[in-house]
Structures are given as structure tokens and as C-alpha cells.
A = this chain, B = another copy of it.
Amino acid sequence: MRYSFLNDYSEGAHPSILNALVESNMIQQTPYGDDVFSVDAKQRIRKHLGASFSGSVHFVASGTLANLVSISSVLKPYEAVITVQSGHIVSHEAGAIEATGHKLITVPGVEGKLTPVNLKEAIAKNSFFPHMAKPGLIYISNVTEMGTVYTHAELSALSAIAKEHGLLLFMDGARMGMALASNKNDMTLADIAELCDVFWIGGTKVGALLGEAIVVSNPDLVEGFDICIKQKGGLLAKGRLLGVQFQTLFNDELLYVDIARHANAMAAQLAQGIKAAGYDLQDEPDANQVFAILPNTLIETLKQSFEFFVWQPVDDKKSLVRLVTSWATEESQVIRFVEQLSS
């Protein structure tokens, strides 16, 4: 059995979550998210969103649902989405956004991030109306697809441009935990709620069985958001399943960030070991993804004991590989991986 560094969703749920599900199982509840667990979980999340927060919190079953519901709910039919080319919605969600009727305008990213310069250029280029769809929303993810994390200054710059041009700012937080736990991070959820109109706090990649918490922080966008969720199939009859999980993740000790901290630490340890063994990283990992350049022969050997993604060839003899860690990553396996690098 090979140990997997393929992704951060190879196991089930964090044991605390399973325990909570078992314990709450037989308590009868109102369906569709009106259960006491969901109500409490939302309250716990709201505590992190700042005193002035006047939006809403919603749970949905998957990240693609979180993206497509959020974007289609807040855009007008003639509006388009600006995103970096590497954005998850561009090529990993089967055209989910377009299927709701909205165009994606792609711009080059820098280490997976949208930059103010590229954003402004995209806005300027897409202004020949009524012949062009009107940019209406900026999609970013944090952690990005390249494993990088936005700083407060970076996000503020994008938010300022968004406001200046009447665009909404939306953050895909599939790995929000790892972003918050990152050494690079200097933002709280309250900061993000202030700067973004809508964002989501991913559960699936941070220890939950499934589920993402969408935060609509712009109060003008709250109306009808719940109907959109239902319309797109995102409302679970047993909403308690999502409530119990986020209750657990947002407990007093903030398990959500603890989990992510472990994932990030394991990635740092992998990165450190790779460098110590004399190999190059593409970049220092901001979160729980390590991009390393390894010889193809070594990759072949490693593949006998580990699963990981070979991202792309670097040259004839070397390739870029991606290693992902999670709440469940065993330190012993990290050590074993590093040992095999030098053997």
C-alpha cells in the first residue's frame, strides 16, 4: 500500500467530527438547515466575522456548488467573471460557471495570484459595451491553485479596484484553513469579510466529510441566496450533517485552524527535507502544497512507496511534482519520504 500525498481529501473526516456525528445522530431535528447544530455552527462562524458583520452564512455540499451558487446568485445575466487562468473554475469544474450563463474572462496569474495590473488591464479590455459581457465579479482563491497565500495588502489592493469599478470580490476558500494557518497570512476572517463581498470557508479539504460554509458579507446580496442554493440542489434535507461538522470545526479551540496548521507543518517538513537532500523547490510553500523539482529516476523510485502528482516535465531528466498534506498526514510518512530522497 502506497502512502498518498496526492491531495488533502484521501481520508474520511477528522475523528472529532465523526464523534460529533455519532453523538448527535438520534436527536430529531428540523430539516434543511434549520436544525440547532446548523444554527449554532453559523453563530460560531459569525463570531469570527467582525462586530459589524450583517450578512449571512450558508452551508452547501461541495466546492463546485459553493462557487456556482455564489457566482450565479449575485451576478446579473449580462455580467462576466474575471479570474486568473489557473483558477479552479476555469478548467477543473467542467464549465460549471458557464453552465449558469456567465462568461469567464481569464487573465495571467502570478504564482497563482491575480495582480492589480492584470486585473486593471482585463477591466479596460472588456469595456466595449453592449458588445462585450460586463465584468461583474472577481474570482480569486486563497490558498491559490499554486499553493500561495494572499496578504492583507494584496487583497486590499484588489478590493479597492473592485469597488472603484463596481465589481464584486469573491474568494474561493476551499483551503481557507491552510491560508489562515499560513506563515504568510496576516488576515483574519473578519478582514476577509470586510474586503470580499462573498467568500467561502472550505470544510472538505480541512477535515470534514464534505461541506463548505459560504459567507455573504455584502448585505445587499443576501436576499434570495438561500433559494439559489435550493434551486441548484445545494440544500441538504439533513442539513444537520453540515451543521454538526462546522460546529466541531469552529469549536472553542478553533479546530479548523489547528487542522490546517498540522497540514502546513507537514508540508514545511517535506519542503525542508527536500532542500536538505539537495533538491529545489519551485517556491517556498505558503501552505500545504509542496512543488519540488526531482529527477525522473528518483520519482520512479518514490512512486513505489508513495502516491503524488507529477505536475509537468522540467527538462529531459527532471519533473515538477506536487505533494499535498492534510490533517491526516502522518509525520512518520513524511520522515519516510524524506529518507527515501537520500537513499
**Measuring CB to CB, which residues of chain A are less than 8 angstroms from any residue of chain B?**
1, 3-4, 6-7, 9-13, 15, 18, 21-22, 24-32, 60-69, 72-73, 76-80, 91-96, 98-104, 126, 128-134, 204-205, 209-210, 224, 226-238, 240-241, 328
Contact = CB atoms under 8 A, between A and B. Distances in A.
Copies of this chain present: 4
28 contacts: A3-B28, A6-B30, A9-B31, A11-B25, A11-B27, A12-B240, A18-B25, A32-B131, A61-B210, A62-B234, A68-B233, A77-B228, A77-B231, A78-B228, A91-B131, A92-B128, A94-B228, A94-B231, A95-B102, A99-B103, A100-B101, A132-B227, A133-B227, A133-B231, A134-B224, A134-B227, A205-B237, A209-B241
B94 A132 contact: yes
A240 B210 CA distance: 10
A95 B235 CA distance: 14
A100 to B, nearest CB: 8
A98 B96 contact: no
A39 to B, nearest CB: 16
User: Which of A31, A101, A231 has the most C-beta atoms of chain B within 10 angstroms of its own C-beta?
Assistant: A231
A232 B24 contact: no
B62 A131 contact: no
A230 B28 contact: no
A203 to B, nearest CB: 10
A64 B12 contact: no
Contacts of A126: 91
Contacts of A25: 11-13, 15, 18
A94 B132 CA distance: 4
A274 B99 CA distance: 47
A126 B72 CA distance: 22
Contacts of A91: 126, 128, 131-132
Closest 9 CB pairs of A and B: A95-B133, A65-B233, A12-B25, A95-B103, A78-B227, A64-B233, A94-B231, A94-B230, A130-B226
A24 B13 CA distance: 10
A10 B22 contact: no
B98 A130 contact: no
B26 A230 contact: no
Contact of A77 (B18, B30, B72): B72
A205 B101 CA distance: 28
Contact of A238 (B12, B93, B102): B12
Contacts of A236: 61-62, 204, 210
A12 B241 contact: yes
Nearest to A209: B241
Given A7-B31, A21-B12, A230-B130, A224 B76 contact: yes
Contacts of A94: 78, 129-133, 227-228, 230-231
